Amino acid sequence: MNDSEVIRTRRLTRYFGRRAVVRELNFAVPRGSVVGLLGLNGAGKTTTIRMLMGFLEPTRGSCEVLGRNSRNFQPEDRSRIGHTVEGHFLYPWMRVRECEHFGRQTHPRWDGTMFERSVRRFGIDTDAKVSWLSRGQRAGVSIASTLAATPELLILDDPALGLDPVSRRALNETIIEFCESGERTVLLSSHLLDDVERVADRVAVMVDGRLLVDTTLDDFRGRLTAWVLEMAEDPTLVHDVPGLVHCRPLGSRWHLTIANPDHESASAIERLGAAAIEPVDVTFEDAVLAYLSRSRVDHSFYSGAES
Amino acid sequence: MRIRVIPGSGAAIYRQIADQIRRGIASGKLSIGDPLPSVRQLAKELVINPNTVAKAYGELTRDGVLETRAGRGVFVAARRNVFSHAERLRRLDEAIDAVISESITLGFDRDQTLTRLRNKLDALQGAKE
C-alpha cells in the first residue's frame, strides 16, 4: 500500500448467498481527499464500507485502511477512523452536554472545541435531551461526536439522509472544516449530488457491485460530452456509438452522454441521420445520472486504482 | 466583490470562481493589488472543497491574473503579458470564433453582432470611469 493512500482495496468481493453484492473492487483513496461514493440503493456502497471497517469479512480479495488489513483491526486502529451510520444512534436519555462528557471519557484525543463548534452550527442547545432533538440535530450531535474524536479518516454513510436544509448546510460546513488541513480524508456516501459537487474532490461510482468510476471530479466531468439529437427513432437502435454511456428521450429529442469521445464517436453520431445535432453542457448531475441509469458495464474509467 | 457558486450548473465550480474573478477585474470591481480571500477562507465561505478554490487560483496565477506574495496572500496582479503576442492573438481569435458561430446559429447578421460587441465594450469602459 502506497503511503499516500488511506484506503486501498484489491479485488474486494462479497457474496450474500449466491448473489455478488460487491465485485472485484479495486479502489484507492488518496490522503487528504474528499471522495463522494455514489450509487443507487443496493449498489454495494454500505457493504463496501462495512468491509472497510472490518465489520464484515470479504468473500474474496482484501482491503487495507490506514495501512492495516481491515480483518485484523484492533480497537486502536478503529479509533483512528470516524464512522457514522445511517440513522445516527445516540442514547435518547442523554443531554447533549452528557454526550460530550461521554465522548471525552471514551476517546483519548478528544477535541471539545470541535464538538462545540459543530453542535452550534446545527443550532443545538447543549442542555437539550437527545430525545427532544429533530432528526437533523441528532445527526449533528452524532457527527460532532465523531469529529471530536479527531479521526484521520472519516467515513460517512449517507449522513444527509432526511436532513433539513439548515442541517445539510451545517453538515457540509463541518466536512469542509474537518478536511481543511489537507491531512485528513473523507469517504462520503450520498445521494445529494449538489452537496457532493461542493465538498468532494474525487468521485467513485458503483453500479451493481462494480466500481465504474474512480477519479477526480473535474476529470469525471471533463471526460463526458453530451449531444442532443433531433430524430424520431431511438438512436441506439440505428447503430452503435463508440463511448455511449447513456441515451435518454428528451421530449421528442434524444440526449446522448458519451465518455472520451473521439472522431469515431463524432462520425457515428453524424451517420445517425438526425435532423439537428447540438452539443450541450454536461452538469455533474447529468454525468452521475448517465452512469446510474444504465446497468450495462463497458465504458468505465479509473485513475486512482490502476496499478 | 462577492463570489457565488451554483452547484449543478453546466460550468464546474472552479470555473465559476475563475470566471467571476476575471470578470471582476475586467469590470473594475477588482483592481491591481486588491487582496483576495485565502484558499481556506473562500472554501469556508462558499462551503466548497479547498482544492476547488486552489484550482481556480492556480489557473489565474498561471495566467498572470493573480499573484501570490509569500506569507501575505493572494492579490490581483499588475497586468503583464505572460503570453507572446502571437499566443494572445490566437486566444482572442478562438474566443471570437465562438462568438461568431453562436451569433450565426442564433440568426444575427454581421451588423447586429458588431453593434452588440461595441455596446458591451462601451459599457465596460463606462463602468470603469
A218, A220, A257, A286, best to mutate vs chain B, most B CBs in 10 Å: A218
**Residue A153's closest CA among A39, A5, A1?**
A5
Note the pTM of the prediction, 2 decimals. Answer: 0.81
| pLDDT per residue as tens digits for the range A19-68 | 999 999 999 999 999 999 999 988 999 999 999 999 999 999 999 999 99
- For the ranges A128-137, A192-201, B9-18, the lowest mean pLDDT is seen at A128-137
CA distance A45 to chain B (A): 22
A194–B7 CB contact, under 8 Å: yes
Write the ipTM: 0.81
CA distance A170 to chain B (A): 9
> By CA distance, what is A278's nearest residue in B?
B105
Q: In this predicted model, which residue has the larger pLDDT, A69 or B79?
A: A69
User: Phi and psi at residue B110, in whole multiples of 5°?
Assistant: -55, -50
Q: Which residue of B has its CA nearest to A284?
A: B8
Q: How confident is the model at residue A294 (pLDDT cuts 50, 70, 90)?
A: low
The C-alpha of A286 sits at a distance from chain B's nearest C-alpha, in angstroms, of: 9
Q: The cell 496565477 sits on which residue?
A: B61
Chain B residue with minimal CA distance to A181?
B40
If you average pLDDT over residues A256-268, what whole number do you get? 87
Q: Where are the beta strands (DSSP E) in B1-79?
A: 35-36, 66-69, 73-76
User: What local confidence, expressed as pLDDT, does residue A307 receive?
Assistant: 35
Contacts of A188 (CB under 8 A, 6+ apart): A34, A35, A36, A37, A156, A159, A175, A196, A199, A200
pLDDT tier at A85, thresholds 50, 70, 90: low
Tell me which chain A residues have a C-beta less than 8 angstroms from the C-beta of B7: 193-195, 197-198, 284
Looking at the partner chain, which of B7, B47, B49 has a beta carbon nearest the beta carbon of A34? B49
For residue A165, the cross-strand partners are none
Bridge partner list, A16: A19
| Set of cell numbers at residue A119 | 453542535
- Cα angle for residues B62, B68, B72 (degrees, 5° grid): 170
* Percentage of chain B exceeding pLDDT 70: 95
At A187-246, the pLDDT tens digits run: 999 999 999 999 999 999 999 999 999 999 989 988 888 999 998 888 888 888 888 888
> Contact, A121 vs A170, CB < 8 A?
yes
φ, ψ for residue A124 (rounded to 5)? -110, 135
Within 10 angstroms of residue A91's Cβ, the number of other Cβ atoms is 12
Across A43-57, A149-163, A202-216, B9-23, least confident range = A149-163
From chain A, the residues in CB contact with B46 under 8 A are 198
By the 10 Å C-beta count (0-12 exposed, 13-18 middle, 19+ buried), A35 is classed as buried
Res. A86 pLDDT band, cuts 50 70 90? low
In B, minimum Cα distance to A198 occurs at B48
Length of chain A: 307
A176–B49 C-beta distance less than 8 A: yes
